[in-house]
A and B are shown apart, each in its own frame.
Chain A
Amino acid sequence: MLKRLTFAAMLSLGVASVALAEGERHGGTLVFTAPYGSSFATLDVQASPNTQEEFITQAIHRGLYSWDSIGNKPVLELATAQDVSEDGTVYTYHLRENAVFHNGKPLTADDIIYSYKRIASPKNAFPGASFIAVIKGADDYIAGTAEEISGLRKIDDHTLEITYTGPINPGFPLMQNTTVIYPSNVEDESVFGKDPVGLGAFVFKEHVPGSQVVVEKFDKYYEEGKPYLDRVNIVLMAEDAARDVAFRNKEIDVSVLGPTQYQAYQGEEALKDQLLEVAEVYTRNIGFNPAYEPFKDKRVRQAINHAINAPLIIERLVKNKAYPAAGWLPISSPAFDKDKAPYDFDPDKAKALLAEAGYADGFEFEVTASPNESWGVPIVEAILPMLQKVGITVKPKPVESSALGEAVTTNNFQAFIWSNLSGPDPLNALRCYYSKTAQSACNYTSFANAEFDKLYEAAQQERDPAAQNDLLRQANNIVQDEAPVWFFNYNKAVMAYQPWIHGLVPNANELAVQPYEEIWIDDTAPASRK
């Protein structure tokens, strides 16, 4: 059915979804897996930047915007319409009049103002503060020098005016897990962490720490006829192997697959047609520190890109669960340049470039790497012999994931291997190569290129999406040419699902996060799910 879906095939998925919608069935229990750890950090999702808590958000909460996986863009969620000023900085939102919180309170502009102030409060140190910072006056509020966020203005209960700091697309920052809307009539805020209240399609029912969160259908949800399911059990399952057994045993309805399982499932008749795939917005790469002498020369960085046979590693080690990277922006980015080819594997060209740069005899460098199978030590070990052939000696420096983050953000590395967010917003993704972005923010390779900066600044001011994407496409091509990183691959996320499950979407931001209100279960499901 939804076999082998790539981003290019999204349109056909849209057709498939419409066709499926004709047979939708109400009722049943979905057993969904949260694979990113053995616990939920908190039920107060505004406080958590983790993907793990997004599973809860999808069920219980809503933000001003949400992500449309089919259209591949943010869309209005809690407002039915928005008016935008000529300069693109002032948005007037006409809020949904039928949206009600689980505690019975109707949504008003006060709730949005309350939520954004809570997220940005200097007392809280919440991760979403940087997203709220796109609102005028938020920086002063975050710093504790203002009592209010000046860019937030209530016109009436169902009309809200937001002034932004520039002509940005506010959908990206305000659709985040950490910027969802809470009711303003809850006096004790500790309730949000124990008994969450939101505007979502499901009501919180139970949390068994370390085991699962259970949610049930909210009868007053604002989308008519939704959700289809009566109940969703979001179970914690961090181990790939255990998830595999549970999925085959039909104890869980979906399972996110790793490379080995992906290969195995593709070879099994009963499973190969039950795979949903998407090119996610992450770029795996080896970042070079220009403070290390050999990496100052662009030819050396390009030589490394030519010396490594990335498609071979993707095939053998990553089991084809990735797409070769042709630059920083991934396939699912609206600014992706489909005509731009990845660096070709050409060791002779690599040797020539190294000789030109004065490194004919090669050199040695250290790669800080986590144990991750898809973008860690195993990959560094795979490139080792390839680079050795052009005279470069690579030494892996294994560290834990949290130590990797610290090493990179403190500029304490010669090179690092990582998987980094490169979408969905191309403007935000390329911010990491803008010379005014701090190294510790996300300009990890201390990239500075005047031509890139010029294009990026022009894109920042450009309000026409097509023209903006064109500028960003050019900027992205500069990044590719300058090769501040070895462009390895874009992650292909794969989810296996049971044949009775319908309504899953190819969410390029994070495939494991699905809109539960769209999912339904057909009659072929086992009795425990109906």
Chain B
Amino acid sequence: MLRFTLRRIFQIIPTVIVVALLIFVIFSVVPGSFAASLFADGRRAADPQLIARLNEEFGLDKPVIERFVAYVSDLARFDLGTSFRTRQPVIDLINDRMWASLQLAIAAMVFALVIGVPLGFLAALRPGSVLDTVTMVGAVSGLSLPQFWLGLLLMYLFALQLNWLPSFGYGDGSFRNLILPAVTLGVTPLALLARTTRAGVLDVLNAEFIRTAHSKGMSEMKVVRWHVARNALVLIVTTVGLQFGSLIGQAVVIEKLFAWPGIGSLLVDSVAIRDIPVVQGTILIIVLWFLVINTAVDLIYAAIDPRIKQE
């Protein structure tokens, strides 16, 4: 198990390196620069001296190769650099927002798990029933709804009409502020989990060992608990892992809409003004998060299903 774990962890390293290189290359070729972005809204006249001074301060007047070497050497020392815009270390900016992002991702995932898995399970146990039909229609709708529109709809209903919840913001970090963004973000994974769980459970229910268990006289409850649930778990864990890993990245739209101070909105703002160190650092953290979650899922697989570890 230790070798398996170490192998999985070491696989993260080359992936991170490739992603870091890709980010650097992409933002070296796209048009636009931080200095030019300061005048982009036309609210002030361009100042060539300031542009030159800023490019010099941030090393943007140096050749790409030289910048690349500096970037890699900083990265090797776990230094994500300094923000052009705030002149603060990138890691500090990410730290300031990481907890809000985690809160949102965890809350959305809990919401999706608590509702999606039981619904999918029940729908599979009663295929063709009203519950099954409603669950699947709901799941397809959940996958199809644009998050931005759904968020506005929830805002309108629960904030404006019912006045139960605040429509925006982090407030003092209270649970009430978290509900609407988390539900909006959680609907897609919820729908996906419900569909995956249903498919996984149906698949197991049709397996021969389930018929064997029934023929041995095991009760329905025991069959479901000991055989169906455990075997369907691998598929559910896979979906949970993939969804949880990508939630922080997916949260960009939700964070903007609800004025939620996560790293998604930091990324969007930084791309718009070409604050390249922050863009690079934020994408790296999101990728790292995805990889860590996936590695954790791999390890959980191995614990659930010993065949995977042997493979």
Contact = CB atoms under 8 A, between A and B. Distances in A.
Chain A interface size, under 10 / 10 to 19 / 20 to 34 / 35 or more: 35 or more
Contacts of B48: 409, 438, 440-441
B74 interface: no
A116 interface: no
B155 to A, nearest CB: 5
A238 B274 CA distance: 18
Residue among B40, B41, B265, B268 with max Cβ neighbours from chain A (10 Å):
B41
A203 interface: no
Contacts of B30: 403
Contact of B261 (A41, A211, A431, A510): A211
A142 B49 CA distance: 10
Contacts of B170: 208, 210-212
A358 B65 CA distance: 49
Given A39-B265, A237-B259, A245-B160, A51 B41 contact: yes
Interface in A187-246: 193, 208-212, 235-239, 241-242, 245-246
B16 interface: no
Contact of B46 (A36, A211, A409): A409
Contacts of B53: 122, 125, 129
A428 B47 CA distance: 13
A38 B166 contact: no
Contacts of A402: 32-34, 36-37, 40, 272-274
A37 B266 CA distance: 10
B51 A282 contact: no
A83 interface: no
A479 to B, nearest CB: 15
A401 B40 contact: yes
Nearest to B83: A41
B109 interface: no
Interface in A498-517: 510
Given A42-B85, A249-B160, A125 B50 contact: yes
A405 B261 contact: no
A512 to B, nearest CB: 11
B45 interface: yes
Contact of B38 (A127, A245, A249): A127
A209 B261 contact: yes
Interface string B116-158: 0000000000000000000000000000000000001001100
Interface string A22-50: 00000000000000111101100001011
B42 A440 contact: no
B272 A400 contact: yes
Contact of A442 (B46, B50, B258, B261): B46
A193 B49 CA distance: 24
A8 interface: no
A164 B45 CA distance: 21
Contacts of B38: 49-50, 127, 405
B94 to A, nearest CB: 10
B97 A209 contact: yes
Contacts of A407: 31
Contacts of B167: 242, 245-246, 249, 251
A248 interface: yes
Contacts of A418: 42
B248 interface: no
A107 interface: no
A432 interface: yes
Contacts of B41: 36, 51, 401, 419
Interface in B252-270: 255-262, 265-266, 268-269
A466 B89 CA distance: 50
Interface string A326-349: 000000000000000000000000
B282 to A, nearest CB: 12
B159 A235 contact: no
Nearest to A407: B31
Given A125-B53, A211-B169, A402-B40, 10 more contacts: A41-B85, A125-B56, A211-B100, A238-B259, A239-B256, A245-B152, A282-B42, A406-B33, A420-B42, A440-B51
Interface of A: 36-39, 41-42, 47, 49-51, 122, 125, 127, 129-130, 142, 193, 208-212, 235-239, 241-242, 245-246, 248-249, 251, 282, 370, 375, 399-409, 418-421, 428, 431-432, 438, 440-442, 444, 510
Interface of B: 30-34, 36-51, 53-54, 56-57, 85-88, 93, 96-97, 100, 152, 155-156, 159-160, 163, 166-170, 255-262, 265-266, 268-269, 272-274
24 contacts: A41-B86, A47-B87, A51-B43, A125-B56, A127-B38, A127-B44, A209-B96, A211-B169, A239-B256, A239-B259, A242-B257, A242-B258, A370-B40, A401-B272, A402-B36, A405-B40, A408-B46, A409-B46, A419-B41, A420-B42, A421-B45, A431-B45, A438-B48, A442-B46
